[in-house]
């Protein structure tokens, strides 16, 4: 299963608007994607409550994983999203 580690760039972390944008993008990939902080439990990236429960703040490293056809493309798209300051857009 491919994985990608990325640092959350949003000033508020994965909270409110940045979390919503991330969850919508994850749901739109059509691929099962999970996200985790450190060695913590991976949660579904398309679940707003699950993503908020991570408590990922600005500068937190998260690991994305996906499986199936299109997994690499999904990870690239989501990693690029997290590397942007979504609060500034």
15 a catalytic residue: yes
Strand partners, 62: 6, 37
Cβ atoms 45, 59 nearer than 8 A: no
Please identify which of the residues 4, 10, 15, 75 carries the catalytic annotation.
Answer: 15
Burial class (CB in 10 A: 0-12, 13-18, 19+), 59: exposed
Catalytic residue positions?
Answer: 15
């Amino acid at each position: 299963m491919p994985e990608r580690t990325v640092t959350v760039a949003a000033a508020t972390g994965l909270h409110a608007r940045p979390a919503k944008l991330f969850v919508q993008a994850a749901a739109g990939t059509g691929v099962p994607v999970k996200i985790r902080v450190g060695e913590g439990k991976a949660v579904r990236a398309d679940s707003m409550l699950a993503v908020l429960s991570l408590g990922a703040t600005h500068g937190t490293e998260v690991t994305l994983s996906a499986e199936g056809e299109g997994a690499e493309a999904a990870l690239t798209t989501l990693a690029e999203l997290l590397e942007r300051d979504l609060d500034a857009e």
